[in-house]
């Protein structure tokens, strides 16, 4: 950042500077954390007056702080110190609005002091938000630098999942067979999604344990169908039967092993196979990323061969299209060039060519790509990679389950991502949650399943 100041001797009455600033939702959260002002009126998800719209009012002192930004970086600039500030608030600014902050020198005082008029107005209509005056000590020494750097901030907020939930809520509740929800996490997640009208849970498993768990967490099961099953495998088989009967349009994993859930689904005739291999997709909401990132396959296929990776790609592309994303598939390897000694690089190149020839449809597929040049445009340019995927991949196809599991957990525990997990390739979406998943993750998994189901129904 280039910073240059105006010394006291250089200033003259009438000198002015302006700063334009778009107020964002993240600004409200950053100010709340920095100031300790958690007034819900200033956050993005509160509707205090009950009119159906969130207030998103920018805190007055946040808007006023833009005045100090002009004083400290433009006029007079670096070295400026406050002595006094008068503020009059005329109206309120909101997230999504652009404001213009202006300071103008009114008078040079004694001992290096300067009096300035200060104002903040809304750029759209010119309405004045704040007026006032500042008295500052102007710098006596000249300062100019191109090396002033400040760290960037990433707000740990999951806006992509919030948007998915908003899309899912108006849809009809998805009838969902919840298999063995007999612990607090699995039952609580299903009931939460039911409360949000994203799914209509049908609880299958040991009925006594399900009711006991509900009592432990204080949940009311009134009006919720419970189907008793003698074992985990029997419960999973009953879920498949409900799908065939048309009573369930999704299956949700409860407190049982994934193998026990999937085994009945793979049975010929009574299972849920429809031709493609079952593949798992994590839809990850990574703070700071412009859109969700999918990681596949991180939970089912241990060492997928080329044919399996073809289904992994196609299932993920179909899901991305349901979520109204532009599918850009980066097939990952350790390198971005084909190395005969690295099988994943060979598979990636073949998948890329298969997409070119129409064997994988609906999205762009490119590989091999290393992790850095798959998601970072600067890294892609450094390596001289071109095309629509390098540096912009939103679907990451991993070489095997080791890499996929590590990548998903790194995103979750290092980058503070939330992950929604689905098994695709079955007759209906299969919601696959982990015991450590947060309520947001469980809700998002149900939302992704509902959006995917109803998008398929429209098609």
Integer Cα distance of 23 and 222 in angstroms = 45
Fold of the domain spanning 275-425: Isopropylmalate Dehydrogenase (3.40.718)
Q: How confident is the model at residue 385 (pLDDT cuts 50, 70, 90)?
A: very high
Q: With contact defined as beta carbons under 8 Å apart, do 344 and 368 qualify?
A: yes
Predicted pLDDT at 386 = 87
Q: With contact defined as beta carbons under 8 Å apart, do 74 and 19 qualify?
A: yes
Q: With contact defined as beta carbons under 8 Å apart, do 167 and 141 qualify?
A: no
Integer Cα distance of 113 and 60 in angstroms = 26
**Tens-digit pLDDT profile for residues 137-177:** 999 999 998 887 877 777 777 888 888 999 999 999 999 99
**431-438 LR contacts (CB < 8 Å, sep 24+):** 431/176, 431/250, 431/251, 431/252, 431/253, 432/253, 432/258, 432/261, 432/280, 432/299, 433/185, 433/186, 433/189, 433/252, 433/253, 435/183, 435/185, 435/186, 435/255, 437/185, 437/189
Looking at the predicted structure, is the pLDDT value of residue 6 above 60? Answer: yes
**Tens-digit pLDDT profile for residues 60-87:** 999 999 999 999 999 999 999 999 999 9
Residue scoring higher pLDDT (55 or 167): 167
Query: In CATH, what class is 3-145?
Result: alpha beta
Integer Cα distance of 419 and 425 in angstroms = 19
For residues 394-411, average pLDDT:
96
Q: Is the pTM of this model over 0.85?
A: no
Integer Cα distance of 413 and 398 in angstroms = 19
Q: Which residues contact 290 (CB under 8 A, 6 or more apart)?
A: none
For residues 23-47, average pLDDT:
84
Least confident of 42-46, 149-153, 287-291, 426-430: 42-46
Predicted pLDDT at 295 = 97
Predicted pLDDT at 52 = 63
For residues 279-300, average pLDDT:
93
Q: How confident is the model at residue 42 (pLDDT cuts 50, 70, 90)?
A: confident
**Tens-digit pLDDT profile for residues 105-127:** 999 999 999 999 999 999 999 99
Query: How is residue 266 annotated by DSSP?
Result: G
Predicted pLDDT at 330 = 97
For residue 416, what are the CA distances in angstroms to 166, 186, 372, 375?
Answer: 21, 22, 18, 17
Give the bridge partners for 175, in sequence order.
200
Q: With contact defined as beta carbons under 8 Å apart, do 19 and 70 qualify?
A: yes
Q: Do the domains 275-425 and 3-145 match in fold?
A: no
Predicted pLDDT at 452 = 95
Delimit the domains of the chain by residue range: 3-145, 275-425
Q: How confident is the model at residue 428 (pLDDT cuts 50, 70, 90)?
A: very high
**Tens-digit pLDDT profile for residues 207-238:** 999 999 999 999 999 999 999 999 999 999 99
CA 272: distance to chain centroid? 30
For residues 309-338, average pLDDT:
96
Q: List alpha helices for 134-272, DSSP H.
A: 159-168, 184-195, 207-217, 232-245, 258-262
Looking at the predicted structure, is the pLDDT value of residue 48 above 80? Answer: no
Query: How is residue 52 annotated by DSSP?
Result: S
Predicted pLDDT at 38 = 87
Integer Cα distance of 40 and 339 in angstroms = 55
**Tens-digit pLDDT profile for residues 352-373:** 999 999 999 999 999 999 999 9
Query: How is residue 249 annotated by DSSP?
Result: S
Residue scoring higher pLDDT (87 or 439): 87
Looking at the predicted structure, is the pLDDT value of residue 458 above 80? Answer: no
């Amino acid at each position: 950042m280039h910073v240059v100041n105006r010394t006291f001797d250089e200033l003259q009455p009438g000198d002015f500077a302006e700063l334009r600033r778009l107020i964002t939702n993240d600004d409200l959260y950053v100010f709340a954390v920095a100031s300790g002002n958690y007034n819900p009126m200033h956050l993005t998800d509160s509707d205090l007056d009950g009119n159906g719209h969130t207030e998103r009012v920018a805190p007055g002192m946040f808007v006023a702080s833009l005045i100090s930004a002009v004083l400290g970086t433009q006029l007079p600039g670096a070295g400026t110190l406050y002595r006094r500030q008068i503020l009059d608030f005329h109206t309120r600014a909101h997230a999504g609005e652009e404001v213009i902050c202006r300071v103008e020198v009114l008078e040079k005082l004694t001992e290096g002091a300067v009096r300035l008029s200060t104002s903040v107005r809304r750029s759209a209509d010119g309405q004045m938000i704040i007026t006032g005056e500042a008295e500052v000590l102007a710098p006596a020494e000249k300062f100019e630098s191109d090396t002033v750097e400040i760290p960037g901030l990433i707000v740990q907020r999951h806006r992509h999942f919030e948007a998915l939930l908003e899309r899912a809520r108006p849809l009809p509740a998805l009838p969902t067979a919840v298999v063995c929800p007999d612990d607090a996490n699995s039952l609580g997640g299903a009931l939460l999604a039911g409360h949000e009208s994203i799914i209509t849970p049908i609880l299958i498993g040991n009925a006594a344990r399900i009711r006991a768990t509900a009592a432990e967490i204080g949940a009311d099961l009134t009006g919720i169908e419970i189907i008793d099953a003698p074992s985990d495998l029997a419960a999973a088989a009953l879920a498949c039967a409900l799908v065939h009967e048309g009573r369930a349009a999704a299956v949700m994993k409860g407190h049982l092993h994934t193998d026990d859930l999937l085994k009945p689904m793979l049975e010929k005739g009574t299972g849920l196979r429809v031709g493609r291999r079952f593949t798992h997709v994590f839809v990850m909401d990574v703070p700071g990323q412009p859109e969700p990132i999918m990681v596949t396959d991180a939970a089912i296929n241990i060492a997928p061969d080329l044919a399996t990776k073809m289904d992994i790609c196609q299932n993920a592309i179909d899901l991305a299209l349901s979520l109204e994303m532009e599918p850009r598939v980066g097939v990952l390897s350790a390198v971005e060039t084909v190395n005969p000694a690295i099988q994943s690089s060979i598979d990636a190149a073949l998948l890329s060519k298969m997409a070119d020839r129409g064997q994988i449809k609906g999205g762009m597929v490119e590989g091999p790509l290393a992790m850095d040049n798959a998601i970072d445009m600067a890294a892609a340019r450094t390596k001289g990679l071109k095309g629509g995927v390098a540096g912009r991949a939103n679907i990451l196809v991993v070489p095997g389950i080791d890499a996929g599991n590590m990548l998903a957990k790194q995103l979750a525990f290092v980058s503070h991502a939330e992950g929604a997990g689905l098994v695709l390739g079955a007759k209906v979406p299969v919601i696959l949650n982990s015991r450590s998943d947060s309520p947001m993750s469980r809700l998002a998994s149900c939302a992704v399943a509902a959006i995917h189901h109803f998008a398929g129904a429209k098609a």
